[in-house]
Amino acid sequence: MTDLTGKVVIITGASRGIGAAAARAFALAGANVSLLARGRDDLTGLAGEIGEAALAIPCEVSRFWEVEAAVAATREAFGRVDVLVNSAGVIEPIVHLAEADPDRWGQTIDVNLKGVFHGMRAVLPVMLAQGGGTVLTISSGAAHGPVEAWSAYCASKAGAAMLTRSLDKEYAPAGIRAMGLSPGTVATDMQREIKASGINPVSKLEWTDHIPPEWPAQALLWMCSVDADEFKGQEISLRDEQIRRRVGLEE
């Protein structure tokens, strides 16, 4: 397991799903974890479970000033910021374009795309002053191909993938490690929303078809190690059996 003793990790969307699994994995690896999410009760419960190494910060990632304040609170509590995990994301509205409510559609962009930018923008001054850092963003196969009724999700994830590439282009020489993780379908509440929609082939998958959230959490931890340096500026897919083996998920 990657040893992150003494490191400080900020995780958005930390109250459930991949974010919560990542919080547990990073804490187990020795890191101090700053947990950001809208769900205050779930967030404080998880922080209580982890203990003194966790800081719960209710935060709406679509609002830059809240993310910036969360980064400042993290520095005050733990002294630095070494890793940012952009895990906050929403799938709704699942709707065809002609029927989409513009405000709800825009809210998905605010969370999935602007939220990623806000995280990057807030941690960059800190990481650059420290001489480096790692920014990991949860991507999706939907970033690279259209899925019926997922226009907001696909567009936002495509934009977030380009933000990862842009971050690498501009700041890799300054020690910033930027990577994306496309986990495939994961057994989280988001998949329950997809299932309930009944639209497109993804909603027809069985629950057993999805991987557990602990798998992408373990991959995120591995991506903080030098073993993943060859993927800087790129996107790693957990559908790739070779990647799974390198992460330690398959023999």
Which positions are annotated as active-site residues? 139, 153, 157
Structure tokens at 216: 């992408």
Cα–Cα distance, 163 to 180 (Å, whole number): 10
β-pairing verdict for 133-138 and 176-182: parallel
Cα–Cα distance, 227 to 209 (Å, whole number): 29
Cα–Cα distance, 114 to 10 (Å, whole number): 17
Cα–Cα distance, 82 to 52 (Å, whole number): 18
Please give the helix or strand (H or E) that residue 33 lies within, else none: strand 32-37
Cα–Cα distance, 31 to 47 (Å, whole number): 13
Amino acid at 80: R
On whether the CB atoms of residues 137 and 113 are closer than 8 A, the answer is: no
Residue with tokens 């779930």: 42
Q: How many CA atoms lie within 13 A of 244 on its CB side?
A: 12
Q: Give phi and psi for 115, each to the nearest 5.
A: -60, -40
Nearest to 16 by CA among 32, 40, 33: 40
